């Protein structure tokens, strides 16, 4: 099946309505750019949202690509400047955490990005957040969770988040859930989308890179099977999707008493 048909089918399956306000989380990379391009093409009501992480030239190039994309698609772009909003760019924040605790770059950045996205998109009164996660990402994450001994961490994953509805939690959708990464890259080149193809200079999560190398030896069918089997395994584990509570410090949705972002800020003494 062609990439466009796969995405259409995924959006149909999750029953996304064209009346809903969707915010596409745009990193400046190929995946989220393709999401915005296709959702606009299919007639969905979208705006873009970019977090300027202030990681030097890499971030400047991402911001430039995102602005160009939104201009050419004729969609509104919301920009969140990390330094202005929080007083520090991602690099500073990460070093502050890492001086106290040995945590991976991507783990820290991922937690902070998720927290910002949910909070800011809620302010914009949007119905859902769309991200560029694709088949390879999802299969990798599931394998990583198994290797870490916690397959249940994948319980919420899917083309649409599975949390029970909550006024503070904005559901997330992944239109590229069934699309392999190499198809997305090819498509973004074909459509000449303004994309920053550079990798984030801080992405040195060696465990994920090893899993990615292994995954690259698999066919797309095998990757799709990993996703299918993950659903079977999770059913057998009978893991219930956990309820949403609120963080005692920031009031944002959290599974534990203190959310992951506030836990990190606590470690960093920030
Ligand atoms: P990553 O965690 O970097 O693999 O990114 C996964 C998805 O998160 C991307 O496809 C985007 O939808 C979103 N995302 C990542 N970085 C940013 C950013 N700086 N601003 C907005 N959304 C982002
Ligand atoms: Zn918190």
The arithmetic mean of pLDDT across residues 15-34, rounded, is 97
Ligand 1 pocket check for 51: Cβ under 6 Å: yes
Is 32 a residue whose pLDDT tops 80? Answer: yes
Ligand 1 pocket check for 172: Cβ under 6 Å: no
Instruction: Render 193-235 in DSSP notation, one character per residue.
Output: -----SPPTT---HHHHHHHHHHTTS-HHHHHHHHHHHHHHHH
Is pLDDT larger for residue 165 or for residue 16?
Answer: 16
Least Cα distance to 196 among 55, 59, 38, 23 occurs for 59
pTM: 0.95
Least Cα distance to 134 among 28, 228, 7 occurs for 7
User: Where do we find the tokens 């939104």?
Assistant: 70
Is 240 a residue whose pLDDT tops 80? Answer: no
CA 21–ligand 2 middle distance (angstroms): 26
Percent helix, strand and coil across the chain, each to the nearest 5? 50, 10, 40
CA–CA distance, 154 with 211 (Å, rounded to integer): 16
Helix (H) or strand (E) holding 49: strand 45-52
Least confident of 2-6, 155-159, 219-223: 155-159
């Amino acid at each position: 099946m062609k990439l466009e048909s796969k995405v259409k089918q995924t959006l149909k399956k999750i029953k996304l309505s064209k009346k809903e306000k969707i915010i596409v989380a745009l990193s400046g990379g190929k995946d989220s750019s393709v999401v915005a391009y296709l959702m606009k093409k299919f007639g969905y009501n979208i705006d873009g949202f970019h977090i300027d992480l202030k990681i030097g030239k890499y971030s400047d190039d991402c911001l430039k690509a995102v602005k160009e994309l939104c201009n050419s698609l004729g969609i509104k772009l919301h920009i969140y400047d990390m330094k202005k909003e929080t007083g520090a760019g991602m690099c500073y924040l990460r070093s502050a955490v890492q001086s106290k605790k040995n945590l991976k770059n991507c783990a820290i950045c991922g937690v902070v990005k998720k927290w910002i996205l949910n909070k800011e998109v809620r302010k914009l009164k949007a119905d859902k957040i769309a991200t560029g996660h694709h088949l390879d990402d999802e299969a990798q994450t599931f394998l990583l969770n198994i290797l870490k001994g916690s397959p249940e961490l994948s319980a919420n994953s899917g083309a649409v988040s599975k949390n029970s509805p909550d006024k503070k939690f904005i559901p997330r959708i992944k239109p590229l859930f069934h699309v392999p990464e190499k198809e997305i890259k090819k498509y973004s080149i074909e459509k000449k989308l303004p994309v920053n193809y550079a990798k984030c200079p801080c992405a040195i999560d060696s465990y994920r890179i090893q899993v990615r190398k292994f995954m690259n030896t698999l066919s797309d069918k095998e990757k799709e099977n990993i996703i299918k089997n993950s659903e079977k395994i999770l059913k057998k584990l009978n893991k219930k999707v956990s309820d949403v509570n609120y963080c005692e410090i920031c009031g944002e949705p959290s599974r534990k008493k203190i959310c992951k972002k506030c836990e990190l800020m606590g470690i960093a003494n920030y």
